[in-house]
Amino acid sequence: MSGVFGRPLSRVARRGAVYLGSLVVLAAFLFPIAWMVAMSFKTRLDIFTWPPKVFSFTPTLENYEKVLFGSKSFLHYVANSVEIAAIATLIAVAFGVTTAFALAKGRVGNSKALGFLLLSFRMMPPVALLLPYYLLFRSTGLLGTIPAIAITHAVFSIAIVIWMMRAFFEEVPNEIEEAATIDGATPWQVFIRITLPMSRPAIAAATIFALMTSWNEFVFAVVLSNTQTRTVPVAISSFVGEVYVSWGELAAATTIGMVPTLILAFIGQRYLLYGLTFGGVK
Amino acid sequence: MPVSDTTLAGSSASRPSFQGIGIARATYWWFLAPATTLAVLLVILPLVALIVMTFLRWNLTESPIPAFAGVDNYLRLFADGAFWASVGRTLVFTAESIILQLALGIAIAVLFNRDWFGMGVIRALFLAPMMVAPIFAGMIWRLLFSDDFGLIRYVILLLGFEQAPLWLGDPNIALQAVIIVNVWQWTAFVVLFILAGLQVISPDLYEAATIDGAGPWTRFWKITIPLLSPIIIAVIIFRAIDAMKVLDIVYVLTAGGPGNSTETVSYRVYQTGITFFELGYASTMALFVLLTVFVMAYLLLLAGRKRS
């Protein structure tokens, strides 16, 4: 640590150690994902080989072929998930953005109380709403339908959409909107012609957040769906209960379920963090 | 990765009021109408229904028609040993998860807290487990824990142990397995918060302490930890609220078993209500979960306010 040459050298060594340590930590945390993805490319034989071959095997697409085009109709569940996520996101973003606009620009409502209300909506334990929803959809004959599942996902996304958009709108200066108002524009015109075009990145972020929330949601989907309207997480959880479980196909299905969210997450990471941490990390 | 500023939950609500675009307020109510309708129909009314249901005897396997039960469900709840056991289990799950996540999270955040080349990428990739749905995370670990081909068993045998535990099949260990999955998934969340907190601490403090002769360990305990404590409190509450809601990973890993050994309180509500159709009693448990979360969210708000 001392001496003329010792000091810079030890600094380099320390920097190297930090890099190495960081990479080891990262590898340890990513390994489970990588291992399962690798498994999705293994034959049954390679999966059960002992000692296990982690990454040294001949990859096969067999599992993907079976999952996507076999008897499991997994593609059908993917389509369900896409449809539900699209409806939920459309509702959450459309309703959420207009609400956030009114809250931020119209000075309606007590901001503090509202903040708490939104926070509590966001933190609502799913089991509190699960039973009332179950009864509601059962009595209206909507149990097992795609719109029923989608609307419950929208409820859970909308609070965070409002939260994110309100923070964005409050930081946008009001001058342009005020000028337009003085020129005689109605709030709707201001909203559609001025505010919306300015907020495209924030809306994109809210959209990504809502899409991910719906795609990953499980509790409502498992209770409110039937065998025809299962979403991807529900379908995957049901594979395990089957008499014969093909672990390779299960890994392939899980990989298919996971990849879209990982891609979306890295596209919208910056804003996603704001939503995930309730504004705790910008 | 941009981790710079911290404005927690409550504090953003208390920002100074700004000038709105002054036009007739009434018009704005039309903007609020759709979301308000949704909130009333799908949050407020269902919660009212939940409260009403707690006073009903309503078991769909017996009769589709509910009967008024007074406070019977509440009395049953207080005397229900299995329910309180699930609460206790949730507490163990919460405490262990939080301690592990905090210890790991702080250590990793301190390691990652450098703006060197490539560290941003490392920090970004580190978030991957958190982005994976709990169901998929549970499935990944179910495979890793497998007794037939799971890698964890292989590593344990490789380390020279005679036998590897039956992670998900042993009632004494299964809860630990669920905790491991939860820690794997949410440590990144803690790292995010701690990183944000570390950036706010002025380097001058460390310099001054170094001049006064404080070593790295002393600096960590006397400067870093005390200054991080508000963030640590917020993180603890966030994670505790989430632990109260844990259901998906239990569902996919163990389905509450073996026996009841991994049955958390949310999972018990699900089982009672959806599997056994005891709607009245399950609602009473759900209300308990809701009130607990509500109190914790309020504490979070207070903590946020204190900080700002």
Residue ranges and CATH numbers for the domains of chain B are 83-307 (1.10.3720.10)
Could you tell me if B69 and B280 are in contact, meaning their C-beta atoms sit under 8 angstroms apart? yes
**Residue A168 and residue A114 share a domain:** yes
**Residue A83 and residue A50 share a domain:** no
pLDDT at residue B3 is higher than 50 = no
- Assign B267 a pLDDT band (cuts: 50, 70, 90): very high
> What's A136's domain CATH number?
1.10.3720.10
- Assign B5 a pLDDT band (cuts: 50, 70, 90): very low
- Bond from prior residue into B258 cis (ω within 30 degrees of 0): yes
Report pLDDT digits (tens) over A122-136.
788 888 899 999 989
**Residue A232 and residue A180 share a domain:** yes
Within a domain: residue A281? no
CA B55 to each of CA A7, B76, B80, B92, B279: distance values in angstroms, whole numbers, following the listed order: 73, 12, 17, 30, 10
Nearest chain A residue (CA) to B280:
A131
User: Which chain B residues contact residue A178 at CB under 8 A?
Assistant: 21-22
Q: How far apart are CA A46 and CA A254, in angstroms?
A: 18
Position B25 scores a pLDDT of 60
Within a domain: residue A103? yes
Contact A155 B43 (CB under 8 A): yes
Phi, psi of A73 (to 5 degrees): 45, 45
Report pLDDT digits (tens) over A150-207.
999 999 888 888 888 888 887 777 777 778 777 777 778 888 888 888 888 888 888 9
**Residue A122 and residue A229 share a domain:** yes
Q: Which long-range contacts (CB under 8 A, 24 or more apart) does A242-248 make?
A: A246/A44, A246/A63, A246/A66, A247/A39, A247/A44, A247/A47, A247/B143, A247/B146, A247/B149, A248/A39, A248/A40, A248/A42, A248/A43, A248/A44, A248/A47, A248/A62, A248/A63
Contact B136 A236 (CB under 8 A): yes
Interface test with B, best of A11, A15, A123, A240 (most B CBs within 10 A): A123
**Residue A71 and residue A57 share a domain:** no
Nearest chain B residue (CA) to A195:
B21
**Residue A188 and residue A103 share a domain:** yes
Of A49-53, B70-74, B238-242, which range is least confident?
A49-53
- Which range marks the domain in which residue A204 is found? 65-276
Domains held by chain A: number: 2
Q: Is B121 exposed, middle or buried (0-12, 13-18, 19+ CB in 10 A)?
A: exposed
Within a domain: residue A155? yes
Tell me which of A93 and B124 has the higher pLDDT.
Answer: A93
**Which of left, alpha, beta for A5 (phi over 0: left; psi -120 to 50: alpha)?**
alpha
**Residue A43 and residue A153 share a domain:** no
Position B222 scores a pLDDT of 86
Phi, psi of B181 (to 5 degrees): -65, -45
pLDDT at residue A54 is higher than 50 = yes
Position A110 scores a pLDDT of 60
Tell which of A26, A43, A63 closes a domain. A63
Tell which of A63, A94, A110 closes a domain. A63
What is residue B40's three-state secondary structure? helix
Please give the distance of CA B90 from its chain centroid, rounded to a whole number: 11
Contact B6 A280 (CB under 8 A): yes
**ipTM of the complex as predicted:** 0.85
